[in-house]
Amino acid sequence: MQPEAIKTLIEQGLTGVEARVTGDGSHFDAVVIGDVFAGMSPLNKQRTVYGTLGDRITSGEIHALSIKAYTPAEWKKASQFQVS
């Protein structure tokens, strides 16, 4: 699976988010930014993003995915410190 395909799945599954996905074909890193994450714990943010990928993780199509999810305000603050 390609990073662009994962980006598309996340963005189609979560209205109004922006996803940035990098990876090598089986291991991926995703930064996802959207208002949908307001009030969520970090664990719930990850679960929400995982939910957009269906069975692609359990099937092994995506071997590993590191997710960092932010509200726009959290992203603005994190990016000031060059955190991704």
Say how many C-beta atoms besides its own lie within 10 A of residue 37's C-beta. Answer: 22
Tell me the pLDDT band of 23, cut-offs 50, 70 and 90. very high
Whether 30 shows a pLDDT value over 70: the answer reads yes
What local confidence, expressed as pLDDT, does residue 82 receive? Answer: 66
The residue whose two tokens read 């307001």 is 38
What is the C-alpha separation between 25 and 11, in angstroms, rounded?
19
Strand-pairing partners, residue 65, are: 28
Global pTM?
Answer: 0.90
Ordered domains of the chain (ranges, CATH): 3-80 (3.30.300.90)
What is the C-alpha separation between 47 and 2, in angstroms, rounded?
21
What local confidence, expressed as pLDDT, does residue 73 receive? Answer: 95
